[in-house]
Amino acid sequence: MSSPADRHLLRLGSLAVAALAGLVLTGVLGRGQAPLQAPGHPLARIGILQAGLGRAVPPATLPLRAGKPQAAPAHRPRSLVVGPPPGTNERDAIEPDAIEPGAGTNEAGAGPGLPPAAVARVGTNAGEPGTIGPDAIEPGAGPEGGAPRVQDGITFRRDPLVPPFVERDRWQELLLSVTVNGYLVSDGTFFIEDPASGRLAVELEVARRWRIAIDEARALTFQGVPFYPVDAIEGVEIGLDRKALALALQIPPETFEPYVVDAQAREAVPPAATWGGFLDYDLLLAGGDAVEERLDGLAELGVFTPYGVALSSFKGDDLLGRPGLTRLETTFSRDFPERRASLTLGDGLALGGAFGSGLRFGGVHWHTDFGLDPGFVPFPLPAIGGLAEQRSLVEVLVDNFSRRSETVPPGPFEFNNLPVVTGSGEVQLKVTDLLGRERLITRSYYVSPRLLRPGLHDYSYALGFERRSYAVDGFDYGQPIASLTHRYGFGEAFTGEAHAEATPDRASLALGGAFGLGAYGLVSGGVGASGDEDAGGGVLGQLAYEYGGRAWNAGLGTRYTSDGFRQFGDGGVVRRTDQLSLGLNLADKGRLGLLLLNRDLAGQSDTLSASLSYSLPVGPGSLIVNAAQVLNPTDEAALTATYALPLGQRRSVAARVERRPDGYGAYAQYHQGRDRTDLGLDWRVAGEVGETGGVEAGFDYQTGFAGATLDLDRYGGDLAARAGVNGSLVWLGGGLHASRRLGRGFGLVDLPGFADVRVYVDNREVGRTDGDGRLLLPRLRPYEPNKVSFAVDDLPIEARIGATELVTAPTARSGVLLRMAVDDAAVSVARFLDRGGAPLPAGLRLTDAGGRTTALVAKEGLAQVEGPQDGVVRVEGEGEGRRFACTLPPLGDDRPLPDRGEVRCEG
């Protein structure tokens, strides 16, 4: 079966042949023959249109009226009408913003520049004059559809299962240019027309591309292709100029589908993974007057594959004295970015959510990880929209700061997932039309990470054995445990949460959630119960309110547990916790914060404390004052005031005065950081006066292959020193490489043979390639686009460059091999001769075994040789029934275009 496109091409070919025949007959018959419009003319019966000769069938305009069909002239043909000149694309794809309002219409309602044409106004109610109601289209014939309804000579069908819906001999095909609201959207679009009524229909997909709101119940099918009647567009005005083969549509803006802008949308980069391994190490040697001399260390061994990552970490104690080695964690994890979830086998941390605490365990852990999709925001973000009467510029302002500008076409528009900070705020849309008129749309919002997007799940399922004596005994596992935490977004304003945990002698369950109060904050809470063989039963209840605004913020919360309530890690010590926080933004007077905390402890004295913070910009720096007071059971207090002053991008000074329970003190520090490469020296010096005065200095030096630290201090007359080294060893790309600490993602740049080339990550220089043209890139962002590029100026002129940058997204704790599209394309010329001295045949192509060196022979055996040619290279090729083998000597020093002279070849 031929496709619709094939059928359309066949129709156009037939039309071209018919048009050519018409031109020939016109020349033969001459001006004295009957005009083509005459009913008896033979060409009129086959519907030939003489475009440009002043003869057209049917007449230039035909009144159209949606509803009761108009009577067509008796001589009107029911055949094809030739459209625009050949070469016009009848299915031009229309971008949404190509539909714009016009500057005005003529009396008949057609677009600018069109002659008076037929106009139909489609109402909104089926009973209005000139309106086709929904009942005008009935199911077509079929096994169950029955006979189609015929009204006023029009056959109405819509059954999508039994084509054709419209009889071919009752509909003719048109190719029309189309303007919508005065703007050209297509030079040629395929339409069908009912000759009896003049009704037009366009392919359904074309109507969708024009963003027209579709009522699928009113669609029909022609030759198996779905079409949509033009008069089914609500409120449309139709202007058809048959002489110009132009269709002008005036469509109300509200009839279009919304133009949606996703402010968080960005191009995704597929995660890259390969095979390799690494060893992270951190060694620290300490000694001094009052410090035991010892060497301690941490190490982590990892193996990464396309199927997951295996990790094992260790702690070494007193490696130069009585060495001890303790295993910390051993895991195998696999991430599923498309599901934003991760599976971990081995040691892990079971998450407790809002009602429980974390627990270290060994077993199986299946949980969501939204960090696998860094561009995804799990909580609801504000959306705002409006209606554009014509093409307009929309500026998005969040809290009076411009965040985005976008040109929108006529019709409804909407901005989703606007990037805002959490808390309350205000988003505005400033809509400016073509005449400069402005409208302002305002909406308040409140964003909280405690909520989830509607329909989104956030879960943590853990099953295994409890870890005990972590970092002391690496193999101390206790009783079996099971932990379940699940959150679900029931709507933008409500997220439910359930948490359950169990051991052989204990079980607990808590249910609750968070409810948004619009622009007034958020309320969260829940209730729970537990049963324990030793403690019996108990209950849990908690309730909290939060509000975060630009001028002020507040939080109030309480949590109560009865004596018998037990959960992982709590021990039943804390029975009640009350907390109150308040923050005020005093504009140019600074910011003020207050925190009150009350804890009711079982078998111990209750505690009540208060803290106050105040920050104020002072000149180029900032002043921060902190005060803390224990109100119960003691009356201890502390007060500190700190002034920090930046001295450029790398240097800063800070001074602090404080009152502690043991007296007064003052502290001053000077700090100088690294430059933007993250390599080099970071150092600080500081001094303190008071009860325990002293001085200290710290140095941290990072190179491309390792890092070193040195800390010196002298307090109370005692001198102490700590020296350390840290870094990583990586097996990647078939070789072993040394690096500073790798971070969560890394890559190996491979520019084979090109040494000392500068490499950049996100336009920031990170190092230069070694003698083999390789450079290890630590601290890449996993699952995020990392743009890696190199300095073209550092390459020799003969280098062949395919691309100067690439974008990669390594998986977590894994490396990726980055082969840059560059090779040593040394170029030389030579004259290839056979053993008899005759030139090799022109057109012969010679290549080496690896395909890296090529030579294309031209006339007289002359050829240009490309590829790495530092050593002896043997190239071969076959031509004119003979096979030739030629040996090229190494290139000399006469680059960039040396002449090798004559090269004798075998064959």
Spatial CA neighbour of 128 closest among 40, 66, 61, 37: 66
- pLDDT higher than threshold 90 for residue 152: no
In a domain, residue 576? The reply is no
Q: What is the dihedral of CA 90, 95, 101, 107, to 10 degrees?
A: 10
In this prediction, residue 258 carries a pLDDT of 94
SS3 of 267-309: the string is CCCCCECCCEEEEEEEEEEEEECCCCCEEEEEEEEEEEECCEE
| Helix, strand, coil in percent for the chain, rounding step 5 | 10, 50, 40
What pLDDT score was predicted for residue 251? 94
Phi, psi of 362 (to 5 degrees): -125, 125
Looking at residue 796, its pLDDT comes to 84
Q: What CATH number is attached to the domain comprising 758?
A: 2.60.40.2610
**3-state SS, residue 175:** strand
Same structural domain, 748 and 889: no
**pLDDT higher than threshold 90 for residue 380:** yes
**Where does the pLDDT of residue 167 fall: very low under 50, low under 70, confident under 90, or very high at 90 and above?**
low
Q: What angle do CA 404, 405, 409 make, to 5 degrees?
A: 135
Give the residue with greater pLDDT, 473 vs 88: 473
Is 279 domain-assigned? no
- In degrees, rounded to 5, the angle at the alpha carbon of residue 257 between the alpha carbons of residues 421 and 103 is 105
Residues belonging to the chain: 907
Q: Which of 209, 224, 257 is the last residue of a domain?
A: 257
Q: What is the DSSP string of 362-385?
A: EEEEEEE-GGGSTT---S----EE
CA–CA distance, 507 with 530 (Å, rounded to integer): 6
More confidently predicted of 17 and 526: 526
Number of domains, the chain: 4
Confidence check: pLDDT of 142 > 70:
no
Write down the H helix ranges in 260-358.
none
Q: What is the mean pLDDT of residues 101-112?
A: 38
Q: Do 762 and 842 reside in the same domain of the chain?
A: no
Q: Is residue 552 part of a domain?
A: no
Question: Same domain, yes or no, for 753 and 867?
Answer: no
- Say if 390 falls within a structural domain: yes
What's the confidence (pLDDT) of residue 660? 84
> Is 686 strand, coil or helix?
strand
Are residues 862 and 813 part of one domain? no
| Banded model confidence at residue 70, pLDDT cuts 50, 70, 90 | very low
Asked whether residue 882 is assigned to any structural domain, the reply reads yes
Per-residue pLDDT band for 500 (boundaries 50, 70, 90) equals: very high
782-791 mean pLDDT: 95
Query: Where do we find the tokens 């003190």?
Result: 665
Alpha-carbon gap, residue 538 to 531, rounded angstroms: 7
Q: Which of 257, 273, 294 corresponds to the end of one domain?
A: 257
Tell me what pLDDT residue 447 has: 94
For residue 437, what is the domain's CATH number?
2.60.40.3110
Residue 385 pLDDT greater than 70, yes or no: yes
Same domain flag for 65 and 158: yes
pLDDT digits (tens, 9 = 90+) for 704-740: 999 999 999 999 889 999 999 999 999 999 999 999 9
Examine the domain organization and report whether 759 and 870 are in the same domain.
no
Each residue's pLDDT tens digit, 792-849: 999 987 787 888 999 999 999 999 999 998 877 677 889 999 999 999 999 999 999 8
CATH of the domain at 872: 2.60.40.2070
- Tell me what pLDDT residue 131 has: 35
Which residue blocks in 30-129 are alpha helix, DSSP H?
Answer: 42-45
What percent of the chain is predicted at pLDDT more than 90?
64
Judged against a pLDDT cut of 70, whether residue 260 lies above it is answered with: yes
Highest mean pLDDT (candidates 72-81, 89-98, 387-396, 823-832): 387-396
Question: Percentage of the chain surpassing pLDDT 70?
Answer: 80
852 and 760, same structural domain?
Answer: no
- pLDDT at residue 124 above 80? no
Comparison of pLDDT for 80 and 896, the residue scoring more: 896
The average pLDDT across 506-534 equals 96
Mean pLDDT (the chain, rounded) = 83
**Residue 472, amino acid:** V
Domain assignment of residue 778, given as a range = 726-823
pLDDT reported for residue 11: 53
Residues 738 and 864 in one domain: no
Residue 148 lies in a domain: yes
Residues 6+ apart with CB under 8 A from 164: 221, 222, 223, 224
More confident residue, 905 or 1: 905
Q: Is the peptide bond before 164 cis (omega within 30 degrees of 0)?
A: yes
**Contact by Cβ (8 Å): 298, 313:** yes
- Name the strand (E) or helix (H) holding 258: none
Q: Are residues 808 and 899 in the same domain?
A: no
Both 844 and 774 in one domain: the answer is no
pLDDT 10s digits, 843-891: 999 999 878 788 999 999 999 888 766 678 899 999 888 999 999 887 7
**Is 67 in the same domain as 169?**
yes
**H or E stretch including 451?**
none
Residue 9 pLDDT: 46
Report if residue 620 sits inside a domain: no
Give buried/exposed letters for 688-719 (b at 16+ CB in 10 A, else e): bebeeebebebebebebebbebebbbbeeeee
Q: Please state the pTM of the whole predicted model.
A: 0.73
Instruction: Show which of 447, 478, 495 is a domain's final residue.
Output: 447
The C-alpha atoms of residue 58 and residue 45 are separated, in whole angstroms, by 11
- Average pLDDT for 235-253: 94
Q: Is 632 domain-assigned?
A: no
Separation of alpha carbons 175 and 16, rounded Å = 13
- Whether 896 and 749 map to the same domain: the answer is no
Q: Give the model confidence (pLDDT) of 542-593 as tens digits.
A: 999 999 998 999 999 999 999 899 999 887 788 999 999 999 999 999 999 9
